[in-house]
Every structure is written in C-alpha cells, then in structure tokens.
Amino acid sequence: MSLQLKNFLADDELNKEQLLALITLAINIKNNPADYSQVLAGKSIAMIFEKPSLRTHVSFDMGINKLGGHALYLGQQNGKLGERERVSDYAKNLSCYADAIVARVFSHDSIQGLAEHASIPVINALCDLYHPCQALADFVTLTERFSDLTKLKLAYVGDGNNVSNSLMIMAATLGVDFTLVTPEGYEAEQSVIEKSQAIAVDSGANIKTTTNIKAIGAQDVIYTDTWISMGDEDASKKAELLAHFAPFQVNHELMKNADASVVMHCQPAHLEEEITTELFDSEMAVVFQQAENRMWAQNAVLTSLFSQ
C-alpha cells in the first residue's frame, strides 16, 4: 500500500485518508502477521534512543523481526546526538548502512535534522513535542473498541505534553471529539492547539481545552499520562507539582462523573499520581491492548514506508 510517506515525524503530516489507511493496515497486520513476514527482508533499521524506553524499544525490535528485518539498538554509547558529532553527520553515516532510522530524542529539532540529512526514512519514536507512534496505536485501540471514531468522545486529563499533542492532532484529523483538561500552567502549547483547531475545521472534530476538571463533561474515554515527562524531572519541585496536579488524578470518581467506560494510559504509569492503582488494574483499562498495538501500528508505518 502506498501512502506516499517519506518519513513519520509528526502527526500533522498525515491527512485523514492516510491515517485511516494506517489504522486499517495495522489491524490487518495484527490479524494476518504471516502475510507481512517478508516486508523488511534484507533490511536493517537503526534505532537511536536518547531517553529510556521499554515499550518503544521492544515493540520496534520485535516488530521489525516479525516483518523479516533486522533492528540495531543505538543508545548513548556513541555520545549525545549533536555533541560527539553533528546530527547531520549522524544521519549521513547511518544512511550508509541502514534502510531506516527510528529515533527517540529530546528535541524535535533533532528529529527534523535527522530527516533533513538522512537519505532513508526517519520515524519519530518520541520527542519533546510529539509521540506519533503512540497516538497511532491508541487510535488503533479505539477503532477496535468503538469502530466509528467520529462518534467518540475522548478526554485527555493531565500534563499538556508530547502524548496529548499527538492525540489532539490525530483526533482533529480523524474527526474525534477531543477535550484537553490540564492544570493551569501545564496547558498544551498554543501553536499545537491552533494547529489542531485549524485541522478540525475540515474534519468536523470538536477540539476543546480547559483547566477546570469539573468542566470535563460526558466522555466515552479518559486518557492520562505521567505528570512529569522524561527530561522534565526536577526533584526540588516534585512535591509542589504533585499537589498542583492532585485534583486532576484519573480515578473511579472521575470516570463516574464523566460517565466514561474506558481509561487509557501510554505507560509507564506512576500509580497513585496521575492514575489510581485500582483503576489502572480494572476492567476499564485498555493499557496492555494499547501497548500491544504499538507494535502493529509501527509495523503499519514501516510497511507503508517500504511499499512506495
């Protein structure tokens, strides 16, 4: 299937047809993995990780293996991106050997630098601004559960971060009703909100933002993520931050108030902070379905990139 994708860097690069095609492909690969077992035969994927990872590392490594390819993990042993050598040189060197680059980086600029200078596709495996592989997997999970996404009401409660940015942009593209609920001072960047609202004009999506948890309204699904993202840790401010976020904890009471039946979390979860253990372990949580779908969603992206 050709989606005319050169890279997979940020959610706003995909239109509705491309996103729906990726979701359908992910579900098809999940149901018929043997049909895709040679997609990456003879291909090698370099995976750069500037930050820790469990799901992203394992799901890319094992997913690439399931497509018949070879994955190479590059941690920090070669020095920080852009310090030991320029991002452009890193990209050009990897292009000599690899067929694609998967990168988890601190700054979106690094992802853009890699894509600009590599002659091979680059996939964003999380940066400060976006986490498109996660959002794609989440909309695969929501499609499995609800089928018609345009009737879905999804609220994200917590820190306005890379995960909420990607969800908001993809929700806008897909025509999903999306409410972003964040504490004051932790809202999404205005540019991302404006981008999502502009995309929503075409799709008919309703994109709302609020800092009032009581204004969450009726929802089908509530999503949350850590209150402190990788790279934002500051031990001296932690107690103050936890107190500021406390009213935004996702728990059974919030689920009941919003009349929501499904709770999502990209993990790792900080139990008793952004979500209660009881809710995370409950039947309402689809967190391991989300985790599994990371692999199928990423395999859909890889299959599309290599089927041009």
Nearest distance from C-beta of residue 49 to ligand NVA, angstroms: 12
The nearest distance, CB 284 to ligand NVA, in angstroms, is: 20
Query: What whole-number distance in Å separates Cα of residue 187 and Cα of residue 192?
Result: 10
Catalytic residue among 112, 134, 219, 249: 134
Reply yes or no on whether 11 is catalytic: no
Shortest spacing between CB 120 and ligand NVA, in angstroms: 25
190 alpha-carbon distance from chain centroid: 19
**Minimum distance between the CB of residue 92 and ligand NVA, rounded to whole angstroms?**
28
Nearer to ligand NVA, 12 or 225 (CB): 225
Q: Which 158-187 positions form the footprint of ligand NVA (CB under 6 A)?
A: 161-163
Annotation marks residue 294 as catalytic: yes
- Residue with smaller CB distance to ligand NVA, 98 or 133: 133
To the nearest 10 degrees (0 to 180), the angle between helices 132-146 and 16-31 is 70
CB of 63 to ligand NVA, least distance (A): 17
Q: Which of 173, 226, 249, 290 binds ligand NVA (CB under 6 A)?
A: 226
Verify binding: residue 225, ligand NVA, rule CB under 6 A: yes
Binding ligand NVA by CB under 6 A: which of 206, 229, 257, 289? Answer: 229
What would the 3-class secondary structure string for the chain be? CCCCCCCECCHHHCCHHHHHHHHHHHHHHHHCHHHHCCCCCCCEEEEEECCCCCHHHHHHHHHHHHCCCEEEEECHHHCCCCCCCCHHHHHHHHHHHCCEEEEECCCHHHHHHHHHHCCCCEEECCCCCCCHHHHHHHHHHHHHHHCCHHHCEEEEECCCCHHHHHHHHHHHHHCCEEEEECCCCCCCCHHHHHHHHHHHHHHCCCEEEECCHHHCCCCCEEEECCCCCCCCCCHHHHHHHHHHHHHHCECHHHHHHHCCCEEEECCCCCECCCECHHHHCCCCECHHHHHHHHHHHHHHHHHHHCCC
Is 225 an active-site residue?
A: yes
Considering beta carbons, is residue 162 or 298 the nearer one to ligand NVA? 162
Which positions from 263 through 282 interact with ligand NVA, judged by CB under 6 A? Answer: 266
Environment class of 44 (CB within 10 Å of its CB; exposed 0-12, middle 13-18, buried 19+) = middle
The residue from 117, 177, 220, 266 that is catalytic is 266
55, 57, 104, 117: which is the annotated catalytic residue?
Answer: 104
Compute the least distance from the CB of residue 295 to ligand NVA, in Å. Answer: 15
Q: Which of 21, 27, 230, 271 binds ligand NVA (CB under 6 A)?
A: 230
Residue 108 bears catalytic tag: no
Q: Which of residues 81-140 bind ligand NVA (CB under 6 A)?
A: 126
Q: Does 220 bind ligand NVA (CB under 6 A)?
A: no
Of the residues 55, 57, 117, 131, which is catalytic? 131
Q: Is 143 in the site for ligand NVA (CB under 6 A)?
A: no
Amino acid residing at 159:
D
* 145 included as an active-site residue: no
Residues designated as active site:
104, 131, 134, 225, 266, 294
Q: Which residues bind ligand NVA (CB under 6 A)?
A: 126, 161-163, 225-226, 229-230, 266
